[in-house]
Amino acid sequence: MIPIHRDLAAHSFYHLEHVGLQGKSCQGLACFLAREADPARWAKLAHDPAPVYCLGQCYQAPASHGNTTPPYCEVHAEETVLLGNVLAGGVRHLEHYQAGGGGAGLRQALALGPQAVLQALDASGLRGRGGAGYPTGAKWRKVAQHDTTRKYVVANADEGDPGAFSDRMLMEADPFRLIEAMLIAGVTVGATHGIIYLRQEYDGAAAVLRDALAQAYSAGWLGQRVAGSAHCFDLELVVGHGSYLCGEETAMLNAIEGRRPEARLRPPQITDHGLQGVPTLVNNVETLCAIPWIMQHGAARYAALGTDGSTGTKLLSLSSLFRRPGLYEVEFGISLRTIVEMLGQGVRRGKLTGLMVGGPLAGLLPPSQFDTLLDYSAMQAAGGAVGHGGVLAVTDATSIAELVAHVFRFGALESCGKCTPCHLGSPELARMATQAAAGQRGDGQRWRALVEALAATSLCGHGRGLAEFAQSIARHYPEELASCFI
Ligand X SMILES: Cc1cc2nc3c(=O)[nH]c(=O)nc-3n(C[C@H](O)[C@H](O)[C@H](O)COP(=O)(O)O)c2cc1C
Q: Which residues of this protein are in contact with ligand X, per CB under 6 A?
A: 128-132, 134, 156, 158-161, 245, 247-249, 282-284, 287, 460-462
Q: Residue 337: left (phi > 0), alpha (psi -120 to 50), or beta? A: alpha
Residue from the set 291, 462, 473, 477 that interacts with ligand SF4 by CB under 6 A: 462
Give the whole-angstrom CA distance, residue 1 versus residue 236. 9
- Residue 423 contact among ligand X, ligand SF4, none, beta carbon within 5 to 8 Å by kind: ligand SF4
Q: In what order do the strands lie in the sheet with 73-76?
A: 73-76, 326-331, 313-318, 390-395, 352-357, 364-365
CA distances from 289 to 158, 166, 167 (A): 15, 11, 9
| Residue 459 contacts which entry, ligand X, ligand SF4, none (Cβ below 5-8 A, type-dependent) | ligand SF4
Residues forming beta bridges with residue 329, ordered by sequence position: 75, 315
Tell the smallest beta-carbon distance from residue 246 to ligand SF4 (Å).
11
Q: Which of 52, 347, 460, 484 binds ligand SF4 (CB under 6 A)?
A: 460
CA-only gyration radius of the chain, Å: 22
How near is the Cβ of 466 to ligand SF4 at its closest, in Å?
Answer: 8
Q: Which stretch binds ligand SF4 (CB under 6 A): 104-112, 360-368, 460-468, 470-478?
A: 460-468
Pairwise CA distance, residues 423 & 428, whole Å? 9
420-459 residues in contact with ligand SF4 (CB under 6 A) are: 422-423, 458-459
39 burial level (CB within 10 Å; 0-12, 13-18, 19+) = exposed
Q: CB nearer to ligand SF4: give 107 or 423.
A: 423
Nearer to ligand X, 131 or 383 (CB): 131
First to last CA, the chain: 55
Cβ-based nearer residue to ligand X, 402 or 414: 414
Whether the bond into 421 is cis, omega within 30 of 0: no
Give whichever of 143 and 437 is closer to ligand X, judged by the CB atom: 143
Q: Do the Cβ atoms of 367 and 352 come closer than 8 Å?
A: yes
Q: How far is 264 from 249, CA to CA, in rounded Å?
A: 9
Dihedral angle at the C-alpha atoms of 349, 350, 353, 359, nearest 10 degrees?
A: -40
Cβ proximity to ligand SF4, 263 vs 374, nearer residue: 263
245 is an interface residue for ligand SF4 by CB under 6 A:
yes
By CB under 6 A, residue 254 contacts ligand SF4: no
Looking at residue 373, the DSSP 8-state letter turns out to be B
Q: Kindly state whether residue 283 participates in binding ligand SF4, applying the rule CB under 6 A.
A: no
Q: Closest CB to ligand SF4 among 292 and 411?
A: 411
- CB-nearer residue toward ligand SF4: 139 or 462: 462
β pairing state of 326-331 and 73-76: parallel
Minimum CB separation of residue 154 from ligand SF4 in Å reads 19
422 binds, among ligand X, ligand SF4, none (CB under 5 to 8 A by kind): ligand SF4
Residue 304 contact among ligand X, ligand SF4, none, beta carbon within 5 to 8 Å by kind: none
CB closer to ligand SF4 out of 9 and 214: 9
Percentages helix, strand, coil for the chain (3-state, rounded to 5) are 45, 15, 40
Q: Which does 416 bind (CB under 5 to 8 A by kind): ligand SF4, ligand X, none?
A: ligand SF4
Residue list 380-419, contact with ligand SF4 (CB under 6 A): 415-419
**Closest by Cα among 87, 71, 315, 64 to 201:** 64
Q: Which does 55 bind (CB under 5 to 8 A by kind): ligand X, ligand SF4, none?
A: none
287 binds, among ligand SF4, ligand X, none (CB under 5 to 8 A by kind): ligand X
Interface residues toward ligand SF4, by CB under 6 A: 245, 262-263, 415-419, 422-423, 458-460, 462-463
